[in-house]
Amino acid sequence: MTTIAFVGAGSVVFTRQLLSDLFGFPELADATIALHDIDPDRLSTAEGMARQVAEQRGARPTITATKERRAALEGADFVINMVQVGGIEATRTDFTVPARFGLRQTIADTLGVGGIFRALRTFPVLTGIAEDMREVCPDAWLLNYTNPMAMNIWWLSQVAPTVKAVGLCHSVYWTVAGLCDVVGVPLEGTSYRAAGVNHQAWLLDWRHDGEDLYPRLNERIAQDEQLRRRVRVDMYRRLGYYPTETSEHSSEYVSWYLRDQREVERLRIPVDVYLGISEENVAEYEETRRALAAGETLPLESSATEYAPQVIHSMVTGTPRTIHANVINHGLIDNLPRGAAVEVPCSVDDLGLHPQAMGSLPSQCAALNAAFLAVGELTVRAALEGDPRLVRQAAMVDPNASASLRVDDIWDLCDAMTEAHGDLLPEALRTSVRP
């Protein structure tokens, strides 16, 4: 019997979707599901939701719920990590404090000042998960959904190299699905390969029944002015390869857009949009809790597209699949730093996950990825070495922050973020440092 632990199971909407997909596989319908969250109300809601999803799906799993992480991980075959350290209050801090300094952000969970500080408060929790796994489920796979993905996978490779960790994100899949809609071809029969870093990978090959679809996309862009008012379409027109995350995300990872109000207006960039998304997530949780208490039937959300259920099914049954996943760059992308976390196609079967070597990226794409990874490397080093100066240096080399703020303001902003997040950060990084 397969045992699957959910860490951060209180993210009930996402947990519900994953469970619905898992229970859709007959081979996983009797799995043991161990739910863990440090918030008792969210944990109780997750448990009630999980039992209802199982009933609706006709599954007969064993479901447990515990605030004790180690108990949830005991004997697990797979650990799905979805933690958001600090919750919505920390997310608000990631936006409101930088905004006081004039720094625009849209999502703030991957790069930039928001991404740096999200990573620093997440690393200690990842270390704890990894330490527990080495003791109570050393052969388990850690399937990470928590952002900032590239930094988190990089961190795990440094502090727990024996843990089998992979980062899962649906951005490549949904990019291709959206582009197929744009050019008017069905997703079925479409083949594609992307590579780079999470939230800034590049669609290197995209075909339908053997036809290169990029010429069709060029025609649509030429015909549609509104398409040309999207950040990643603008990036594609200039770079020649389509980036695999939304325009909101993509605007934060380069120096060209958010610093200039004219660009914000030209490309309709929704500044601070993730704050609204986060509030909506809280509202969805509250509605789920209310509906369960009232004995109402929850809507069954099944995507059949999320990677974790597919990965688990492939590893349990041997059913071969290919996904795009985040792993350590051991000769996978020649012109990105060795040891960094990169996103590449990976095949999955009962022997595990097998990343595919992609050679070199186009030089212009690698250049942007290298800047992205420089921020991640400095952030990881800051936590490894307990050096608050490296935190400031990470912010200094961040494309958006360095284009938007004076260097003194970047240091002052990091001081303000450190004070605001307080004991969510590693103790060694809670001090202010000056040049």
| Catalytic annotation, residues | 170
Three-state DSSP state, 249: helix
And the tokens for 12? 């009930």
As a whole number of angstroms, the distance between CA 433 and CA 435 comes to 7
Q: Is 180 annotated as a binding residue?
A: no
Distances (CA, A) of 126 to 21, 69, 120: 25, 12, 10
Residue 432: count of CB within 10 angstroms of its CB: 13
As a whole number of angstroms, the distance between CA 239 and CA 318 comes to 39
Q: Is 166 left (phi over 0), alpha (psi -120 to 50) or beta?
A: beta
427 contacts: CB under 8 Å, gap ≥ 6: none
Strand partners, 206: 192
Q: Is 346 annotated as a binding residue?
A: no
Three-state DSSP state, 326: strand
As a whole number of angstroms, the distance between CA 180 and CA 177 comes to 5
106 contacts: CB under 8 Å, gap ≥ 6: 248, 249, 251, 252, 258, 269, 270, 271, 272, 273, 274
Q: Is 169 annotated as a binding residue?
A: yes
The binding site for Mn(2+) consists of: 169, 199
The binding site for substrate consists of: 147
The binding site consists of: 147, 169, 199
